Structure 1
């Protein structure tokens, strides 16, 4: 519930995508941050909606907010609008989220409620923090998005490689500039934070912090009785995630084309299920004998609970993957790529299995299927790791400290 005490400070919270329902990676983090903030502040939330289906959830946010302002984004129109960045010499991500009504609301709500502290979730939302009256500004970048675009560039051909490389360069300049101006900036892992720290002065770098993701280990628990969604047959492999997100599309495409055939040489009856909302035509085309693409499901947990193995073959990954933490919380053995394992606590071979190449993935999956006792051992260790290292409340207490929850005035 929102903190309605007249003694509670007001706080501005800006999010690039409505933080409800928490059904994908960024929304899981932004929603849990909202819950923690609501316990200490009167939260004024400004957010965008890029999926019309999310509009029905707007009223639910009042449970955690004193007030909120929602602006619609039409992704196709926003992409066209973002091209203004080419003329202005700025990253396209910035005009994509530039909105006069949002800026007017921010200015008005800060003035009317004497708001002194603000938290922006994701780099592009920092553009709204340049407001008179704000005495403390914190940015949760989550990941260094500029590095993601640079990584995309290496995977694409011209002209997209040029466009992505340009986006990486321009967005990094924006991220660096705001990290220099903000009172504190946070990232999901130390590795992501270090990518920016090395380009800052010692004083500026001291304001960069890592605040890891968490997982609801009571909700994602092997103790729940969940109906088996799979048909009878051989070993079950599963991947979960939003299937309109290019790194996820790349991951399942690589798995189906380069990894799964090798597994089927040893286990011809193995099946692979891709679970997640908004599968693109490229993802749907992967479906076939022994390969299922579910689309949106009401609950991902049954698909995790009854899988023999969870795979996360992400070749492009920033920060800690919520999909990996959720599978581990369900006590499932997980085979992760080296990129997806970056920043993850625990040890390879004890809490999860790391595979860097297609042949390593084949070997790890085949060996896990052949030795279910060892796979179960890894799954149990994975859940213990989640319980000891990945509590949302414990991690986000650090973010609340940086925002200034430990003081009544700006630090």
Structure 2
């Protein structure tokens, strides 16, 4: 394989590797770093992101960071309201970042942009191949946000942004040599049956070595939710479970609902006021924190792509109950690998099934672990994308060598 030089653009510094978006781009870069040299160029809103101690691996050969203060992002967003540019694209625009992109591009064989937020800086790039890692159809996520309780001026803003995002995302294959998404459902939402020829679908994965399987037989009736609670969809999921599902469950079925992950103080305080709810915040070890749990729940109503928490539950041996949105994008078989629940009463019935039937719980857990081992190791899920990038780099390098020879 030709060893290439990749420029990777991210809207946030991907360290520490916490949260779905950071986890995915870090996994992609870790896979690519085995065969190529990677330069990271990140936008950073916080000065803390410039701390060199945050980087604890050797994925990138070179790292550059550009500060984008929040006040500037908010000003740019306000100025974009009368136009057609998605507000989140405007939020991440940075002249300083654009200048560094322009300076670094000639030194590389391929540019990989993470999300449309940085992809915007490569729309007119034609000197080297470009890849846009879209991850999710964000417009589909926004449409679901509007369906679940957003009212007033916020509802109007979401409606405007969703329409802009959908049009913007649908155009992206025109500007990039390759675009990638996590799930077929997201691709179908954007393009129907007329899928772009330069689209790659590469699902999310899990590190099964870091998420050891544990037999849950005899564990107390503890249900867990794992996720970055700074995410609107995760907070909505926990509010939904606490308000609409947990009150229907007797204490013998769910003694404790434990929420594991980064969370804002105000959100933690709101959740803790409810009986049987424990909020841990960020923890040193997720497997250790959920070692005594009996079940994993994913009552996500808002989202797109693949829910990593479901894959993590499966790897850890937690029998899983998921909403249809949480199951979306996965080839996991309902009633064999997990249970799927569409309503609060469905959730109650599914959780009671697992808690009262140890044989079912064990079967679900073992089938789920087998599923993630066979289908969702990072190397396997990302191979369609990493192989495509490898081929693009080989072509780009040959072209550069031939051009140099002619000159």
With normalisation by structure 1, the TM-score equals 0.89
Matched with 2:170 is 176
Matched with 2:183 is 189
Supply the distance in 1 between the matched residues of 2:74 and 2:345 (Cα, whole angstroms).
38
Aligned length: 394
CA distance 1:53–1:302, shift in 2 (3 Å):
farther
Q: 1:279 aligns with which of 258, 264, 283?
A: 264
Alpha-carbon shift at residue 59 of structure 1 (Å): 5.9
Matched with 1:299 is 285
Supply the distance in 2 between the matched residues of 1:254 and 1:181 (Cα, whole angstroms).
39
Q: Map 1:254-403 to 2 at 5 A.
A: 254-264=240-250, 267=252, 270-288=255-273, 289-403=275-389
Matched with 2:405 is none
Q: 2:196 aligned with 1:205, yes or no?
A: yes
After alignment, is 302-311 or 320-329 more displaced? Answer: 302-311
Q: 2:106 aligned with 1:120, yes or no?
A: no
Matched with 2:146 is 153
CA contact (8 A) 1:118 1:403 kept: no
Supply the distance in 1 between the matched residues of 2:288 and 2:70 (Cα, whole angstroms).
32
3-state SS of paired residue (1:87):
coil
Q: Deviations 1:330-356 (Å, cap 9, x if unpaired)?
A: 111010001110111221111011000
Supply the distance in 2 between the matched residues of 1:166 and 1:271 (Cα, whole angstroms).
40
CA RMSD of aligned residues (A): 2.5
3-state SS of paired residue (1:255):
helix
Q: Map 1:59-138 to 2 at 5 A.
A: 60=55, 63-75=58-70, 77-111=72-106, 113=107, 115-130=108-123, 132=125, 134-138=127-131
Supply the distance in 2 between the matched residues of 1:286 and 1:57 (Cα, whole angstroms).
34
CA distance 1:312–1:52, shift in 2 (3 Å):
farther
Alpha-carbon shift at residue 357 of structure 1 (Å): 0.1
Supply the distance in 2 between the matched residues of 1:51 and 1:292 (Cα, whole angstroms).
29
CA contact (8 A) 2:214 2:317 kept: no
Q: 1:45 aligns with which of 37, 40, 46?
A: 40
3-state SS of paired residue (2:17):
coil
Unpaired runs of 5+ residues, structure 2, are 400-407
3-state SS of paired residue (1:90):
coil
CA distance 1:99–1:338, shift in 2 (3 Å):
same
Unpaired runs of 5+ residues, structure 1, are 225-231
Matched with 1:227 is none
Alpha-carbon shift at residue 373 of structure 1 (Å): 2.3
CA distance 1:170–1:385, shift in 2 (3 Å):
same
Q: 2:5 aligns with which of 10, 14, 37?
A: 10
After alignment, is 272-281 or 25-34 more displaced? Answer: 272-281
CA distance 1:269–1:334, shift in 2 (3 Å):
closer
CA contact (8 A) 1:118 1:134 kept: no
CA distance 1:52–1:363, shift in 2 (3 Å):
farther
